[in-house]
């Protein structure tokens, strides 16, 4: 049922809101959920449609009663907790209201121009876990430290992850303050404390958890899709010099927890049903997943046809009127593990997931440099500067740089769905 394709996905479906027809991100086939505020209001639930946001509280009387009761607050946690059937019912009603002209007079007063609104996190995030399912990224990073054995023995048996910091997650547009910490390069005798010299981005997808599970009761791989509300873009900002010094023996800490950027709109699992594809076959000799991570439906439709892109602007480029420079583009199908496998493994020891929890996929890189998802890969650990417009180069991020993540779900015969963007600008470290 989670992968059901119906009339709401019809490529011929059009909205009476003209800006939605042919919109790069938010046509009527998308209908992503988010939390917004207008200049005269508090944060509240909305749906993106073309160049507008539909205020769901203003039309609650037109919506399915079960879903409507969850929309009176400033987060979507209660809506996330509903069964997928209830979210699907909401999608059907919204599609009807926004496609049939007889509803236009009723709905128009509840539309606000997106440019006049501020976006907020879609949920109160109780917990955040970041995975490492991009095998090409894992291999590229591993080669820099272990040329003869880039992937550790467990990588192809288990979806690797670490517990991140929920309190420092911010939506697109909020600046990143350059972190400080201990760093020690190979040619230094002792560590020093100061601003990161090797600040990097990571191109990821974020996974919003819906209905949770009780402590001690794992989520099976067959049931995992019913616990996934939708996706967003996620940038796991990384201080590579801090990370290199601190990560042994317990993994990432201060190198990661200073800021994480997410796109504000939740692209729902229901909207993404037509863009499901088969999980790529593992290379010859790779082990099969253990039985608790293996499901025929997940293998047949557990991957996603989503194109991901990273662009960069510098202070000089913006002052010179230069367009953002594309650093890389690649496919989400380069994930070695599916999202369902991430959810199942996370709960396999009995860990209880909650509505509004957020999972990161880890950096998604393509096999070739044109699709690498971090500067650590693109610059070969800082050894190969990247040429930018305006005669600039970069190995790692400098103050004033802005990173922009975008994505589009695409499939033959279907309207492309965008994710909006996850962008943020680097500010100098603050004085102690």
- Residues designated catalytic: 137
How far CA 113 is from CA of 54, 301, 410, in Å, comes to: 9, 36, 26
Q: Which two tokens stand for residue 285?
A: 């000799």
Contacts of 406 (CB under 8 A, 6+ apart): 233, 308, 309, 311, 418, 419, 420, 421
* Closest C-alpha to 273, from 100, 78, 42, 30: 30
Q: CA 177, 232, 13 angle in degrees (round to 5)? A: 140
Distance of CA 333 to the CA centre of its chain: 14
For residue 117, give the H/E element and its range: none
Tokens of 343: 């959810």
Q: How far are the Cα atoms of 261, 326, 378, 419 from residue 404, in angstroms, in the given order?
A: 10, 9, 16, 12
What residues are paired with 347 via a beta bridge? Answer: none
DSSP structural state of residue 245: H
**Could you identify the residue written with the tokens 């039985």?**
291
d(CA 345, CA 220): 9
- Other CB atoms within 10 Å distance of the CB of residue 96: 13
Element (H, E) at 165: none
CA distances from 318 to 84, 196, 311, 312 (A): 44, 24, 13, 10
């Amino acid at each position: 049922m989670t992968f059901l394709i119906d009339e709401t996905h019809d490529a011929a479906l059009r909205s009476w809101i003209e800006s939605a027809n042919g919109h790069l991100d938010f046509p009527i086939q998308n209908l992503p959920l988010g939390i917004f505020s207008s200049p005269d209001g508090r944060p509240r639930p909305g749906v993106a449609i073309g160049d507008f946001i539909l205020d769901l509280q203003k039309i609650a009387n037109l919506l399915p009663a079960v879903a409507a009761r969850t929309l009176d607050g400033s987060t979507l946690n209660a809506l996330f907790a509903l069964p997928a059937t209830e979210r699907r019912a909401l999608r059907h009603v919204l599609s009807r209201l926004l496609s049939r002209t007889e509803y236009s007079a009723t709905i128009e007063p509840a539309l606000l121009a997106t440019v006049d609104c501020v976006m907020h996190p879609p949920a109160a995030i109780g917990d955040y876990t970041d995975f490492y399912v991009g095998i090409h990224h894992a291999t590229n990073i591993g080669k820099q430290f272990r040329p003869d054995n880039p992937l550790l023995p467990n990588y192809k048996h288990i979806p690797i992850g670490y517990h991140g910091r929920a309190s420092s997650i911010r939506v697109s547009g909020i600046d990143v303050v350059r972190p400080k910490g201990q760093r020690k390069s190979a040619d230094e005798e002792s560590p020093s404390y100061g601003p990161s010299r090797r600040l990097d981005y990571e191109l990821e997808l974020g996974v919003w958890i819906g209905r949770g599970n009780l402590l001690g009761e794992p989520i099976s791989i067959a049931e995992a899709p019913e616990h996934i509300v939708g996706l967003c873009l996620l940038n796991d900002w990384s201080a590579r010099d801090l990370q290199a010094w601190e990560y042994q023996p317990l993994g990432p800490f201060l190198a990661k927890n200073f800021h994480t950027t997410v796109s504000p709109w939740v692209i729902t699992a229901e909207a993404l049903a037509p863009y499901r594809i088969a999980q790529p076959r593992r290379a010859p000799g790779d082990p099969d997943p253990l039985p608790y991570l293996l499901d025929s439906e997940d293998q047949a439709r557990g991957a996603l046809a989503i194109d991901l892109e990273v662009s960069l602007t510098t202070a000089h480029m913006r002052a010179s009127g230069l367009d953002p420079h594309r650093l890389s583009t690649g496919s989400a199908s380069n994930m070695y593990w599916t999202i369902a496998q991430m959810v199942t493994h996370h709960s396999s020891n009995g860990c209880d997931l909650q509505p509004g929890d957020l999972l990161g996929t880890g950096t998604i890189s393509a096999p070739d440099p044109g699709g690498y998802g971090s500067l650590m890969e693109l610059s070969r650990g800082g050894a190969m500067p990247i040429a930018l417009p305006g005669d600039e180069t970069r190995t790692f991020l400098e103050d004033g740089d802005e990173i922009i993540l975008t994505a589009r779900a695409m499939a033959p015969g279907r309207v492309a769905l965008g994710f909006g963007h996850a962008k943020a600008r680097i500010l100098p470290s603050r004085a102690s």
